[in-house]
Amino acid sequence: MDMRKVSKVLVNAWWLANNPDHWKKPEEFRPERFLEEEAGVEVNGNDYRFLPFGVGWRSCPGIVLAMPMLGITIGRLVQNFKLLPPPGHSKIGTAEKAGQFSLHISNHSTILMKPISRSSF
């Protein structure tokens, strides 16, 4: 039997996303890295740091739309709402835990979103 036909190749996507050779301070939650350090990255499916979206001809066709829309959506939420911790908590928990391919929030909780009054503008 030809072992190449039955072999599986497993890629450690977690290491690609946390490799200090490719990312500055990968262990820190710093979303601004994509505005500063990674501003020139083209999301065309050929940058292996974005492996969870797939690479090459098998890459996610929606990534071209998803990446800019994610920034716009988060920006609009932060611009129009005050994000508050759930009742009984003094802050919003952002602790992380390692998953199979990426980091996850350790304890999911409700975040209260209070509309910002525009009358003060």
Write out the residue range of the structural domain in which residue 84 sits.
Answer: 3-120
Residue with tokens 């829309």: 69
Cβ-based neighbour number of residue 96 at 10 Å:
13
Total domain count, the chain: 1
| Full pLDDT tens readout for the chain, 121 residues | 677 777 777 777 777 778 888 778 888 877 777 677 666 666 665 666 666 666 666 667 777 777 788 888 988 988 999 988 888 888 887 777 776 656 667 777 778 889 998 665 5
State the DSSP string of 18-53. H-TTTSSSTTS--GGGGTTTTTT---SS--GGGGGG
Q: Angle at CA 36, nearest 5°, toward 32 and 42? A: 105
